C-alpha cells in the first residue's frame, strides 16, 4: 500500500506541476544551490531507499526459505534441498537456477528485486529546477487618475512633448514610459523588488489619442508673384490655403488650424489642423512640390489592462476593459471630451530612406509620417494634460523569470508504473507464498551453525560428507537420496530413492542399509528420522 500510495502521489504532483507551471522554491537564500541539489537528487532518492530496503529484505527471505519449503514438500533431491542456497548466489544465478528448478515464486521475486534497482535512477531524474516565466497576483499603486491639469491651457506640456518627438525623430527613439502608440496610461508604481525579465500587468486608466489624419482629395500649388500658394480640399468639404515664400528656403514646414473645418464656436486650441510641407530640389532643376495632411484629433478614456516591462519601463499591450465612467473634468466640463490639438511641425525627413523626395513620391509618405509623430506628440502631452495626482492600490499581475521546481512527466509516469507493478507483484508473491510457509514446521528459524547441526545430527547422511568436500563432491556423495522434513520435530530426513519405477516401498536409511565403506555410524535400532 505504501508503494501504491507513493505512486499515486507522484502522479498527482506531476499533474499539479504541469498545470501550475511547477512549484515555488526560495530564490534568495544563502543555501540556494545546496537546497536545489537536495530537492532534486537527495530527497527523492531518500524516499526510495526504504522501499528498496523493504523489498530486498522480503526477496531475501523468499530465497532463504526456499530450500526448507522444498524439504517440507518432501521427496526432494539434494540439489534442490540441502545443497540449494539461493542467498549465496548472485541474482542472475538465482534467476537461472530458479527457472531450472521451477521455483516460480523465487524467480518472480528476484526479477522484481532487479526491477527495484531502476527506482533510484528514476527517482534521481524525477525533479528538476528550471528558470521559467511565472505569473502571480500582486498589487501596484496608481499615482495618476483622469483629471484636467491646472496648467493645461499653457504650452508646457506641448513644448516638452515636442522636444521628445524631435529627439525621437532624429534619434529613432521609441515611446517613453507609460506611452504605447496612441495609448497613454495613468502612472503607477510597481511592487518593490528586482524581477528577472519582469512584466507587470495592471488594470488602470488609459487615454487613447487618435489623430484621424487624411490626405487631401485635391491639392494644387499655384505661382503667385514669385511665391507659391497651396490650396487643399479635404473629404469633409473643407479647404485650406497657405502661401510659401520661395526665398525662405527649399524646405518649409508649417501647421495651421483649419478653422473652416471646425465646429461652429469651437475654440482654436481644439480645432482640426493642417500640416503643410514644401520642398524644391534645386539639384534636379524640377519645380517645387507641396504636401498637406488634415488631422482632427480626439481622445477617449477607458478602463484598460496595460502591461509594462519592469526592466525598461516600456508600456506594452493595452486592452480596453470598459468605458471610463467616473466623473472627471476631461470627459465632463470644461473639456467635454475635446482634445487639444497642440502641434509639432518638424520632421526629420532626411532620416527617411531616399530623403525628402522619396517622402513626396510616396502618396502616403507624409500622411504616415504625420500620423506617427503627431500621435506620439499628443500621447506624451496627454500624460501632462489629462491626468491628476491620486494614490490608489490597484490589482496587478506580475510575470517574472523565477526558479520553479518541476516533476518531470516521463520519469514520474515510469516511476509510478514501476511502483504499482512492484507493489502488486510483491503482494501476489507473498499471498501465494503464505501456504508454503504454513506447511513449514521449524522448531526455530535456522541460522546459526548449531541450529543447522541440530536439524541434521540424527539424519545419518552427514557421515557421507567430508569437511573438504566442495559442492560437486557433495552432489556425487548424496546422489540417490531424497530429503524431507519430519513434521513432528523439524529434523531433516534422508531416504533412498525407490528401487524400481513401479514400487511404492520407501526405506529409511540406517546403519545396516549402507555399505560398510559409507555407513552413517548409527545404531541399527535407531531410525534416521529420530530427533
Answer whether 307's CB lies under 8 Å from 200's CB. Answer: yes
Answer whether 335's CB lies under 8 Å from 299's CB. Answer: no
Span 110-145, pLDDT tens digits: 999 898 888 888 888 888 888 888 888 999 999 988
Does the predicted TM-score (pTM) go above 0.85?
A: no
Span 360-418, pLDDT tens digits: 777 778 888 888 888 988 899 898 888 989 999 999 999 888 888 899 999 999 999 99
Mean pLDDT score of the chain: 81
User: 313: which residues sit within 8 A by CB, 6+ positions away?
Assistant: 177, 178
Answer whether 96's CB lies under 8 Å from 107's CB. Answer: no
Q: Give, for 252, the enclosing helix (H) or strand (E).
A: strand 251-257
DSSP code for 508: B
Residue by residue, DSSP assigns 88-150 as: GS-HHHHHHHHHHTT-HHHHHHHHHHHHHTTHHHHHHTSEEEEEEEEEEEEEEEEEEEE---T
Q: How confident is the model at residue 34 (pLDDT cuts 50, 70, 90)?
A: low
Q: Give, for 185, the enclosing helix (H) or strand (E).
A: strand 183-185
Burial of 323 (0-12, 13-18, 19+ CB in 10 A): exposed
Distance CA 374, CA 366 (A): 11
DSSP code for 172: T
Partner residues linked to 300 by β-bridges: 208
End-to-end alpha carbon distance in the chain:
43
pLDDT at 360: 75
Q: Give, for 431, the enclosing helix (H) or strand (E).
A: helix 409-438
Cell representation of residue 506: 520407501
- Phi, psi (5° rounding) for residue 385? -90, -40
pLDDT at 513 over 60: no
Q: Provide the 3-class DSSP secondary structure of residue 403.
A: strand
pLDDT at 528 over 60: no
Residue 71 to residues 78, 391, 504, 531, Cα–Cα distance (Å): 10, 89, 20, 16
pLDDT at 343: 62
Q: How confident is the model at residue 354 (pLDDT cuts 50, 70, 90)?
A: low
Nearest to 465 by CA among 479, 451, 454, 455: 479
Residue 261 to residues 208, 240, 243, Cα–Cα distance (Å): 22, 9, 19
Answer whether 326's CB lies under 8 Å from 307's CB. Answer: no
Per-residue pLDDT, averaged over 61-75, amounts to 88
User: 183: which residues sit within 8 A by CB, 6+ positions away?
Assistant: 206, 207, 208, 304, 306, 315, 318, 379
Domain ranges of the chain: 1-126+408-440, 134-212+297-401, 218-291
pLDDT at 208: 93
Provide the edge-to-edge strand list for the sheet that holds 227-233: 218-224, 227-233, 239-244
Answer whether 240's CB lies under 8 Å from 274's CB. Answer: yes
Cell representation of residue 354: 531616399
Helix-helix angle 43-73:409-438, to 10 degrees: 30
- Phi, psi (5° rounding) for residue 522? -110, 155
pLDDT at 529: 32
pLDDT at 13: 92
Cell representation of residue 323: 468605458
Amino acid at each position: 500500500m505504501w508503494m501504491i500510495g507513493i505512486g499515486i502521489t507522484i502522479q498527482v504532483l506531476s499533474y499539479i506541476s504541469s498545470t501550475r507551471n511547477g512549484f515555488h522554491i526560495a530564490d534568495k537564500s544563502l543555501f540556494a544551490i545546496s537546497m536545489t541539489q537536495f530537492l532534486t537528487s537527495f530527497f527523492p532518492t531518500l524516499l526510495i531507499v526504504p522501499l528498496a530496503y523493504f523489498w530486498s529484505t522480503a526477496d531475501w527471505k523468499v530465497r532463504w526459505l526456499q530450500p526448507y519449503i522444498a524439504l517440507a514438500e518432501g521427496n526432494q533431491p539434494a540439489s534442490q534441498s540441502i545443497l540449494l542456497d539461493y542467498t549465496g548466489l548472485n541474482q542472475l544465478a538465482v534467476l537461472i537456477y530458479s527457472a531450472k528448478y521451477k521455483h516460480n515464486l523465487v524467480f518472480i521475486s528476484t526479477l522484481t528485486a532487479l526491477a527495484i534497482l531502476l527506482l533510484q535512477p528514476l527517482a534521481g531524474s524525477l525533479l528538476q529546477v528550471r528558470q521559467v516565466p511565472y505569473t502571480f497576483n500582486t498589487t501596484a499603486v496608481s499615482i495618476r487618475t483622469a483629471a484636467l491639469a491646472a496648467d493645461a491651457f499653457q504650452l508646457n506640456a506641448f513644448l516638452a512633448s515636442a522636444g521628445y518627438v524631435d529627439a525621437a525623430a532624429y534619434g529613432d527613439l521609441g515611446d517613453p514610459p507609460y506611452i504605447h502608440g496612441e495609448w497613454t496610461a495613468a502612472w503607477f508604481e510597481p511592487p518593490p523588488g528586482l524581477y528577472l525579465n519582469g512584466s507587470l500587468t495592471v488594470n488602470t486608466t488609459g487615454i487613447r489619442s487618435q489623430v484621424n489624419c487624411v490626405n487631401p482629395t485635391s491639392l494644387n500649388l499655384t505661382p503667385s508673384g514669385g511665391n507659391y500658394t497651396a490650396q487643399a480640399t479635404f473629404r469633409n468639404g473643407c479647404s485650406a490655403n497657405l502661401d510659401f515664400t520661395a526665398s525662405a528656403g527649399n524646405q518649409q514646414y508649417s501647421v495651421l488650424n483649419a478653422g473652416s473645418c471646425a465646429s461652429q464656436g469651437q475654440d482654436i486650441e481644439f480645432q482640426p489642423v493642417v500640416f503643410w510641407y514644401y520642398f524644391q530640389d534645386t539639384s534636379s532643376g524640377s519645380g517645387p512640390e507641396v504636401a498637406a495632411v488634415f488631422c482632427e484629433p480626439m481622445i477617449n478614456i477607458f478602463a484598460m489592462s496595460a502591461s509594462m516591462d519592469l526592466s525598461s519601463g516600456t508600456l506594452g499591450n493595452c486592452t480596453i476593459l470598459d468605458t471610463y465612467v467616473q466623473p472627471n473634468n476631461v470627459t465632463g466640463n470644461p473639456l467635454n471630451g475635446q482634445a487639444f490639438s497642440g502641434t509639432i511641425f518638424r520632421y526629420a525627413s532626411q532620416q527617411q530612406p531616399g530623403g525628402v523626395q522619396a517622402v513626396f513620391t510616396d502618396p502616403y509618405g507624409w500622411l504616415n509620417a504625420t500620423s506617427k509623430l503627431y500621435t506620439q506628440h499628443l500621447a506624451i502631452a496627454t500624460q501632462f494634460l489629462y491626468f491628476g495626482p491620486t494614490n490608489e492600490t490597484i490589482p496587478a499581475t506580475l510575470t517574472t523569470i523565477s526558479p520553479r521546481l518541476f516533476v518531470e512527466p516521463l520519469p514520474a509516469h515510469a516511476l509510478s508504473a514501476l511502483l504499482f507493478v512492484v507493489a502488486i507483484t510483491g503482494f501476489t508473491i507473498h499471498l501465494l507464498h503464505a501456504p508454503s510457509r504454513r506447511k513449514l514446521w521449524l522448531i526455530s528459524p535456522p541460522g546459526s551453525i548449531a541450529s543447522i547441526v541440530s536439524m541434521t545430527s540424527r539424519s545419518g547422511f552427514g557421515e557421507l560428507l567430508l569437511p573438504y568436500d566442495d559442492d560437486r563432491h557433495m552432489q556425487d556423495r548424496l546422489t540417490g537420496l531424497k530429503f524431507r522434513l519430519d513434521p513432528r520435530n523439524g529434523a531433516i530426513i534422508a531416504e533412498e530413492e525407490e528401487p524400481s519405477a513401479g514400487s511404492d516401498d520407501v526405506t529409511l536409511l540406517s546403519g545396516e542399509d549402507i555399505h560398510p565403506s559409507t555407513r552413517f555410524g548409527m545404531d541399527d535400532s535407531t531410525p534416521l528420522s529420530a530427533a
